Each structure stands twice: as C-alpha cells, then as structure tokens.
Amino acid sequence: MSRIAAFQEHQWFPHRDEYKVWRHLVRAYEVDFTLIPRGGYFERWEDEEVVILDEQGVTTLEDFVHPENAVYVFGNTLQNDLIELPHDHSVVITYPGKICLFGLMAAAIVLEDRKRKWQ
C-alpha cells in the first residue's frame, strides 16, 4: 500500500477546493492521504519508504523504481525544506519550463508514473 502526505500550503485550507481535488486524486489512485497542517510534522508509518519530491531531487522520475510500500511527500519546498526530512528516496520531476509544479500536479504525475510502471 502507498500513501500521499502533503504539507498544507499557506494559501489553502481544508474547506477550499484544493483539498477536495487532493481527496479526489487519492481516491482515483486508491492511496491513502495525510494532510500535514501548517506547523505540523511528518510522521513515518512502519515499514514505509519515504519518497520526497523536490526540485533538488537525486533521481529523476523517469529512472525511479517505485517501492511497494511508499509514502510520497509533497509540499512547498521553499517553505518546508522537504530535503531535510528523513527520507529513503529523493526524486525530481523533469519537465520543460522553469516554474515549480504545485504539489497536487506533481502528485498526479507521480501516481500515474507509478501506475504505468507497475502494470
């Protein structure tokens, strides 16, 4: 089983549409979802491999082999310093352009990549 852990962005709250889209995304890919509130901390579950998605990632998504029991951690890398979280894998999504991907967009790309590679 896998799950998504997302740091709550400063510009949205659970009652707004962004939260609903996160819930829809994780239901579509049948993974669990943990929202980490602002000022909260990330909790690793037993036997999980922690995968952080960050612009400074070590492995490209194209080369990444998804673990069976993963937690994919997303959030505003400029405010949460994801790279400092204890983790097993650091992954970067390469794409044309120089803007940062929103966590929700990155999560959709990663979950689709996992689905395709596991088929």
Q: In this predicted structure, what is the pLDDT of residue 72?
A: 94
Please state, in angstroms and rounded to a whole number, the distance separating the CA atoms of residues 19 and 33: 11
Domains of the chain: 3-118 (3.40.1280.10)
- H helix or E strand, kind and range, residue 24: helix 17-28
pLDDT tens, per residue, the chain with 119 residues:
689 988 876 665 555 677 788 889 999 999 999 888 777 788 888 899 999 988 878 999 999 999 999 999 987 665 556 667 888 999 999 888 777 777 888 899 999 999 999 87
pTM: 0.85
* The residue to which tokens 């889209």 are assigned: 21
